[in-house]
Chains A and B, each alone.
Chain A
Amino acid sequence: MAEVFVAKVADFPDGDRRIVAHGVHGIGVFNWQGQFFAYANMCLHQGGPACEGLIMHKVEDVIGPDKTWMGQKFSDSQVHFVCPWHGYEYDIRTGECAADRRLRLKKYNVVQRGDDIYVAV
C-alpha cells in the first residue's frame, strides 16, 4: 500500500490538522490528544471540504434526574470536525456523521515511522 507523507511529528501539534494531496479532494489528517485520524476531505452532503472546518466539542443537553432540561454544555470527550460549507459534523475518532451515524467518511490509516507521519492510501 502506498503512503503519503503528512508531516514531521514535531511540526504537527496536538489539536492541529493537515490536508494532504491525494486523489481529487485530498485527505484530512487530525492530531487529537496524541492520536492521528485521517479521512477523505469530501463531505457526504454536497461534497464540501469536510476536514477543513472548525473542530468543535459535541454540544450536549444537560438533563436533570427529574428529566428537566438544565441547560447545555460542550462534551469533555466527544469531538467533531465540521464541514465549513453547511455544518455537517463528523466524529473525529470514527468519521461518522454525528447527526446520522449510518453516514461515514472514508477512513485512512495513519502510520508513524520515526519522526514522520504518513497516511496509507
Chain B
Amino acid sequence: MVDLPLSNDRRMKVDEFDSGKMLAHATRQAKDRGYEKFPIVDVDSHHYELESFNEILEYMPDPVMKQLAQMANSGNSKGVGVMPGGVGYQDIGGRAIRYPLRRIEKTEPGVHRDVSLTRRWMDAMGVDMAVLFPSPMLQLGLHPQVEAEVALAWAYNRWLCERVLQEESRICSMIYLPFNDPEESYKMVKEFAGKKGVNGFMVTSVRYRPVHHNSYMKVYALIEELGLPLAFHAGYNWNEQSMTMMNKFISVHAIGFVFYNMVHMTNWVLNGLPERFPKLKVIWIESGLAWLPFMIQRLDNEYLMRSSECPALKKLPGEYITDMFYTSQPMEIPRDMSLLESTFKCIKAETQLLYSSDYPHWDFDLPSTIYDLPFLKEKAKRDILGGNAVKLFKLDINGRKLAKVA
C-alpha cells in the first residue's frame, strides 16, 4: 500500500501497480503498427541500481569503501552519503506515477527483479532488445573521490554482468567507465570486453574532464581496436555553476541534458579525435535531436574563419558530427514538423539515428514516436527502430522478433 500526498492536502491510497498494465496502450500501438514484422532495439533504457545496492556492494573490491557504503545503505535512505546527486524532481511531484508506485510492483518469482521489470516493459512496448543503463550512477562522475567512482564502477559492472546480463539475452549494456581515472577506465575495457551482453562502453557526460586529454588516447585506441562503440550519456547537474541560477527542474533538465554533450562534442570534434580514431563508433545519448543542427551550423561557421585552431580537421566539423550516431529520445516534437524533418535530413537519421525509450524515466518515448513520423518511409522507420542498432552492435538476432507482446 502506498499513500500518495496530493494537492491541497488530499491523499490517495494505492494497493497495487503493474507497469505492464500501465503500458497497455503501448501494447495496443505495437499490435496496430505491426511491430511483430521487424526487430526493435532500444539503445537507452534504465533500471534503478540502488534498489539492488546491497547486492552490488558484494562485488566491490575495496573492503573499506565497501563497508562505508554498506553502512550508508543500511538505513532508510538508500545510498545517501555514497552517491552524488541530490535535488531533482524527476517524478513531477508523483504525476509520473510509476516513480512512487514501483516499490509495490510485484515481479516473477525466481527472476531477478531488474530482469523481470525490464522484460515487462519491453514486451509491453514490443521492444526486442534493450541497452540498459543505471540511473543515479549517471551523476557518479561528480563524486569528489575518484577512487569511489572507480570502486562503485567495478562493483556495478561486475554485478550487472553476472546478475542481469547473464540471465536475460535480450538485455545488454555499454559498460560504465570511471572516466575520472583513465587508467582504471582502460583496465575496465580490458576486463569487460567480450563478456555476454557487453555491446560497448559508456561515459556519463556530467563530469569535468576534457575528452581530448592525452590520458584517454589509449582508452579510445583500445575500444577502437575492439570494434565496439563508445557512448556519451547525458545528464543534469543542478550544482553546475551556471545552472545554480535556475530555479526550476524543467530548466535544469532541458538545458543540462544537452549542455555537457555540447561541451564534449565540441572538444571531440575540434581536437580531431575522429581523425585520430577513424574506426571508433561514437554514440551521443539522451540529448534529443534539436541541438545537432545548432552544433553543426555553429561549429562549421566558426571553423571556416578559425581553421588554424583546428589543424587536425580534414573536413567541416559538421561532417564529423553527421558521421556519428545519436539516440532519439527525448525527441523534440516541434509545432512545425518541417523542423524535425530538416533535422532528420541534417543528421542523416536514416543511417545514424538509433531509437531509444529512456524508459522508465519521466520523459520516455515509445517506438511510435518514430513509427508515426509522416515523412519517413517504412524502411527508414524500421532502420531507426532497430536495423541501425543491429548493424552497429552486430546483434545476432537475424531479424527475429523476441518481444512477447501480450
Contacts and interface: CB of A to CB of B under 8 A. Distances in A.
Interface of A: 15, 24-25, 42, 46-49, 52-57, 59, 74, 76, 82, 84-87, 89
12 contacts: A24-B28, A25-B25, A25-B28, A47-B26, A47-B29, A49-B25, A55-B6, A57-B7, A74-B7, A76-B8, A87-B92, A87-B95
B368 A84 contact: no
B95 A56 contact: yes
B369 A46 contact: yes
B164 to A, nearest CB: 25
Contacts of A53: 95, 97
A55 B368 CA distance: 27
Contacts of A59: 7
Contacts, number: 57
Contacts of A55: 6
Interface residues of B, number: 26
Contacts of B92: 87
Nearest to B10: A15
The 8 closest A-B pairs by CB, nearest first: A57-B7, A84-B97, A74-B7, A87-B95, A87-B92, A82-B95, A56-B7, A74-B8
Contacts of B97: 53-54, 84
Contacts of B26: 47
B395 interface: no
Nearest to B100: A54
B364 interface: yes
> From DSSP, what is the main secondary structure of chain A's interface residues?
loop
Given A49-B24, A54-B12, A74-B8, A86 B369 contact: no
Contacts of B95: 53-54, 56, 82, 84, 87, 89
A76 B8 CA distance: 8
Contact of A56 (B6, B25, B365, B368): B6
A62 to B, nearest CB: 15
Interface string B72-102: 0000000000000000000011111110000
Interface in B336-365: 362-365
B368 A46 contact: yes
Contacts of A82: 95
A86 B362 CA distance: 6
B365 A46 contact: yes
A85 B97 CA distance: 7
A87 B8 contact: no
